[in-house]
Amino acid sequence: MRRSLGEPFQVVDHPGGVVIVAGPTPEFGDRNRRVGTPLYRKLARVLKPVRVTEHGGISESFEGRFDAEEFQNWLGRFDDD
């Protein structure tokens, strides 16, 4: 994963896993102004094969939570397709 991401990403060891830092500052996109988030999109491409598709505490449909379609849309918000 470190090789796939390259610079400016940092993959930092953390108890129980890793933290991925996507560049020196957060990216702020704006669809209306066509300002993209290229680092987040690259990260999404690399992580997509291992990305969670279900999460009982989030994806179940009840007040204050996502329904299944909204959850999938949220997960894929940085996908190119």
32 and 64 part of one domain: no
| Tally of structural domains, the chain | 2
46 and 59 part of one domain: no
pLDDT at 37 over 90: yes
46 and 14 part of one domain: yes
Query: For 28-42, 44-58, 63-77, which range has the lowest pLDDT when averaged over its residues?
Result: 63-77
| Residue 5, C-beta contacts closer than 8 angstroms, at least 6 positions apart | 11, 20, 42, 43, 46
Q: 6-33, pLDDT tens digit by residue? A: 999 999 999 999 999 999 999 999 888 9
61 and 40 part of one domain: no
6 and 45 part of one domain: yes
Q: 61-78, pLDDT tens digit by residue? A: 556 667 778 888 888 999
Domain limits for position 43? 2-50
